[in-house]
Amino acid sequence: MSWWNNQAALELFPLLLEGFRITLLATLLGSLLALTLGLVFAFIDRTAPEYIRRPLGWVLQFIRFTPPIAQLFFAYYVIRPNLGIGVDALTVGIVVLGVHYATYNAEIYRAGIEGVPKGQWEAVTALSLPQGRAWFGVILPQAIRRVLPSLGNNVIILFKEVPVLSAIAVTEMVRVGKEYTSDHFAFYIEAFTIAGLIYLVASYPTSLLMRKLEVRLGN
């Protein structure tokens, strides 16, 4: 097998797994930020006065319709140097991905909130429940349950978007593979096949889990 080098593959595997740890970390923290911030955006959209909602809407549109890599470069080369304190590339990457996907999650939450039947709000009013209780006890639990599969889907999409962070030198898995091949001027097949398989092994079961969840919540 001249096109596949076992020696290189064995050497690559642990290196790639090490990079995969960074990928997972970025996915976890990025998604956490995207899920929380998305809810905050949706909540503001639903409750704040027009003069706050409208400019926020513009900002969210702008983020949604520009590529994450452009936002990444902007955050890394323009914003980061002006922060004064040392913020590492990984942190910048997590925040950029988190904010980018928060704008998508905001739309999903919004749809979920709008999908809660009007009668639930009327029951809340008829029982004089305070606003906080209405949102956190009645409306949001129902809204989030409805959109859990879509939110989960965005976690997977963000997971697959993590390699974009290699552009600002975050050594996530794909970057590790790229560095190895650049050092050797070879083993491209080994590096990216193994990286691809690791991705597949992680995301395919997750997507199956999501589908299962969708079916269960549908009942």
Partner 1 sequence: MATDTTAAQVETDTQALGPVVNFDKVVKRYGELTVLDELDFSVKPGERVTLIGPSGSGKTTILRLLMTLEKVTDGVIWVEGEPLSHMRDSGGELVPANEAYLRQMRKRIGMVFQQFNLFPNMNVLRNITEAPVHVLGLSKDEAAVRARELLELVGLSDKENAHPSKLSGGQQQRVAIARALAMRPDILLLDEVTSALDPELVADVQNVLRDIASSTDITMLIVTHEMHFARDVSQRVLMFDKGKIIEEGTPERLFSEPREERTQKFLRAVLEGR
Closest CA to 72 of 156, 145, 169, 160: 169
Q: Which positions lie near partner 1, rule CB under 8 A?
A: 117, 119-120, 122-123, 125-130, 133, 137-138, 141-142, 145
Comparison of 21 and 133: residue with beta carbon closer to partner 1: 133
- Cβ 83 to partner 1, closest distance in Å? 41
Instruction: For residue 49, give the 3-state DSSP assignment.
Output: coil
| φ and ψ of 159, to 5 deg | -55, -45
Cβ nearer to partner 1, comparing 124 with 174:
124
Task: Output 81 or 117, the one with its CB closest to partner 1.
Answer: 117
Q: Which is nearer to partner 1, 18 or 114 (CB)?
A: 114
Question: How far apart, in whole angstroms, are the C-alpha atoms of residue 216 and residue 148?
Answer: 11
Residue closer to partner 1 (CB basis): 84 or 117: 117
CB 62 within 8 A of CB 74: no
User: 145 or 212: whose CB is closer to partner 1?
Assistant: 145
Question: Looking at the chain, how many residues does it have?
Answer: 219
Query: Least distance to partner 1 from the beta carbon of 167, Å?
Result: 43
Q: What's the closest the beta carbon of residue 139 comes to partner 1, in angstroms?
A: 10
Between CA 99 and CA 89 the distance in angstroms is 15
What is the closest distance, in whole angstroms, from the C-beta atom of residue 138 to partner 1 in the complex? 5
d(CA 202, CA 206): 7
Least Å distance, CB 217 to partner 1, is 12
| Of residues 127 and 186, the one with the C-beta less far from partner 1 | 127
Spatial separation of the C-alpha atoms in residues 3 and 140, rounded to whole Å: 54
Least distance CB 133 / partner 1 (angstroms): 5
Report how far residue 85's alpha carbon sits from residue 170's, in angstroms, rounded to the nearest whole number. Answer: 18
- Measured CA to CA, the distance from residue 213 to residue 48 in angstroms comes to 32
Question: Rounded distance, CA 157 to CA 57, Å?
Answer: 23
Please report which helix (H) or strand (E) contains residue 109, including its range.
helix 89-114
Nearest distance from residue 118's CB to partner 1, in Å?
9
